[in-house]
Amino acid sequence: MEVSMIEQQETEPASQEVVETNTRERLVNAAVEVFLERGYGGTRVQDIARKAGFTSGALYVHFPSRSALLSEAIIREGKIILDSMTESLDSLETQASTPIQAMAAFATAPTTKFDRLLLDALALAAGSEEFRTELDGALHGFVDSIRSRVTASKARGSIDQSVDVEALCNLYVSWVFGSVVSKALGLSMSDPDGLADIGAKFRSSI
Amino acid sequence: MEVSMIEQQETEPASQEVVETNTRERLVNAAVEVFLERGYGGTRVQDIARKAGFTSGALYVHFPSRSALLSEAIIREGKIILDSMTESLDSLETQASTPIQAMAAFATAPTTKFDRLLLDALALAAGSEEFRTELDGALHGFVDSIRSRVTASKARGSIDQSVDVEALCNLYVSWVFGSVVSKALGLSMSDPDGLADIGAKFRSSI
């Protein structure tokens, strides 16, 4: 079974049509869409305003600057991506799949524009207390989901009883976030079989 | 032997006094210093200008905006951090240390302000062709250093001969960059012994 940790994002959040929404939300939604198409540098205020059905002037009534709007959009979408990664981990069959299989699949999945957006969200959260607070629930949900799966693996004896759950949890979290960085940067990906093989060797050893 | 992959940065690059330097360089140097003290949101143009010995007006002669100056400063410092990580990997004794030991030490080292700066540099490079090009040499130098150590481990028989070098290299690169993310976000760190134990189990298994 192949497990894609973010397959849900490819179509849903950005293109979702919300019929009843206020101006601010429409602007943030439009900013996410334009950002995913054009990246940080290529996202122009006019394009966001046009997509939302407003003038650029109206946009500045709601956001002091282009970067304030983009930051809010990136953090909001980053939360959705993290929640969806957690959901996809949580939906794994306890017996049939292991965290390491899901992570190997994620690490070798093709790069998507969501890797870049999530990397931006993580960087924003690392640099700002306010954004960190915004992202905190989603971040901890993700870490907790990995922790509970590692704990369950240990409880049913499928990993070495001497393994420190927090350490293994930390290694897995780093692996996932590092895969986001590697993919966002287009660093050369190994073939999935090679990584799955290492994952299997590793899993059988702990 | 404890190996710190970025111990050199703590004091050198930001505080380095370059006597003969042009205005642009002085501004970038000052921007790095203020950024490391205050983070992205807290870095004010006046503080950078004052530290460099200029007026804010003079600063705008050289950089179109605060974010243009900060981005250049972050990418330049990110290159220095990556190069230093590579140097510290390269300086490991081939027989005495393994990449996994260096990485476990790095992953469990205390968080520094350089983790946050490197995360910003990686996010900038992922979002802009221009910055990606700037960071490319340093990124590939780092990946190549890990690859050559994995290749050497395989050649002298200390890892399983069936292991795919590219896959293991990719896993290690992800682990390091994921540790940068985890540390920059202050995600709970396991104790070093737990991670070192897992590293040892992992190493003996491949």
Asked whether B13 and B80 are in contact (CB, 8 A), the reply is yes
Q: Mean pLDDT of all residues in chain A? A: 82
Alpha carbons within 13 angstroms on the beta-carbon side of residue B2 total 10
> Could you tell me the pLDDT band of residue A154, with boundaries at 50, 70 and 90?
confident
CB-nearest to B194 from A167, A175, A204 is A167
Provide the pLDDT for residue B46. 92
**Which strand (E) or helix (H) includes residue B35?**
helix B23-42
The number of beta carbons lying within 10 Å of the beta carbon of residue A18 is 9
Question: How many Cα atoms are found within 13 Å in the side-chain-facing hemisphere of A173?
Answer: 32
- Answer yes or no: do B171 and A198 touch at CB < 8 A: yes
In sequence order, the 6+-apart residues with CB closer than 8 A to the CB of A196 are A101, A104, A108
Interface test with A, best of B81, B133, B198 (most A CBs within 10 A): B198
Q: Is the pLDDT of residue A201 over 50?
A: yes
Confidence of residue B189 (pLDDT cuts 50, 70, 90): low
Q: Are A164 and B104 in contact (CB under 8 A)?
A: no
Tokens of A80: 């959705």
Beta carbons of A47 and A34 less than 8 angstroms apart: yes
Using a CB-CB distance cutoff of 8 angstroms, which residues of chain A are in contact with residue B202?
202, 205-206
Average pLDDT over every residue of B62-76: 91
**Residue count (chain A):** 206
Average pLDDT over residues B86-113: 75
Q: Which domains does chain B have, with CATH numbers?
A: 7-205 (1.10.357.10)
Per-residue pLDDT for B150 more than 70? Answer: yes
Q: What percent of chain B has pLDDT over 70?
A: 80
Determine the distance in angstroms separating the CA of B187 from the nearest CA of chain A, rounded to an integer: 8
Top-confidence range, A103-112, B8-17, B39-48: B39-48
Task: Tell me whether residues B166 and A127 touch, CB distance under 8 A.
Answer: no
Supply the ipTM of this predicted assembly.
0.84
Please state, in angstroms and as integers, the Cα–Cα distance from residue B42 to each residue in A10, A69, B45, B48, B52, following that order: 34, 18, 10, 11, 17
Question: Using 50, 70 and 90 to split pLDDT, how confident is the model at B134?
Answer: very high
B36, B130 Cβ separation under 8 angstroms: no
**Best mutation target, B66, B150, B177, to test chain A (most A CBs within 10 A):** B177
- What value does the mean pLDDT of chain B take? 82
Give residues with Cβ within 8 angstroms of B157, minimum separation 6.
none
A96-151: pLDDT as tens digits: 456 677 777 788 888 888 999 999 999 999 988 999 999 999 999 999 999 988 88
Residue A48 Cα distances to A2, A40, A62, angstroms: 36, 12, 13
Tens digits of per-residue pLDDT, A79-97? 999 999 999 888 876 544 5
Give residue B87's identity as a one-letter amino acid code: E
pLDDT interval class at A205 (50, 70, 90): low
pLDDT of B23 over the 60 cut: yes
Q: Could you give the angle at the alpha carbon of A53 between the alpha carbons of A49 and A59, nearest 5°?
A: 35
- Residue B59 pLDDT exceeds 70: yes
Which residues does chain B have within 8 Å of residue A193's beta carbon, measured at their own beta carbons? 164
| Beta carbons of B104 and B196 less than 8 angstroms apart | yes
Nearest Cα residue in chain B from A188: B170
Secondary structure class of B166 (helix, strand, coil) = helix
The Cα–Cα gap between B64 and B172 comes to: 39
- Residue A2's pLDDT band (boundaries 50, 70, 90)? very low
Spatial contact of B9 and B84, defined as CB atoms under 8 Å apart: yes
- Beta carbons within 8 Å of B68's beta carbon, 6+ residues apart: none
Q: Which of A128, A171, A203 to mutate to test the interface with B (most CBs of B within 10 A)?
A: A171
Packing angle, helices A99-108 and A129-155, rounded to 10? 130
What does the alpha-carbon distance between residue A78 and residue A174 come to, in Å, rounded to a whole number? 17
The pLDDT score that the predictor gives to residue B97 is 56
- What pLDDT, on the 0 to 100 scale, is given for residue A204? 60
pLDDT above 70 covers a percentage of chain A that reads 81
Q: How many CA atoms lie within 13 A of A3 on its CB side?
A: 24
Residue B100, pLDDT > 80, answer no
- Asked if B78 and B134 touch (Cβ cutoff 8 Å), the reply is no
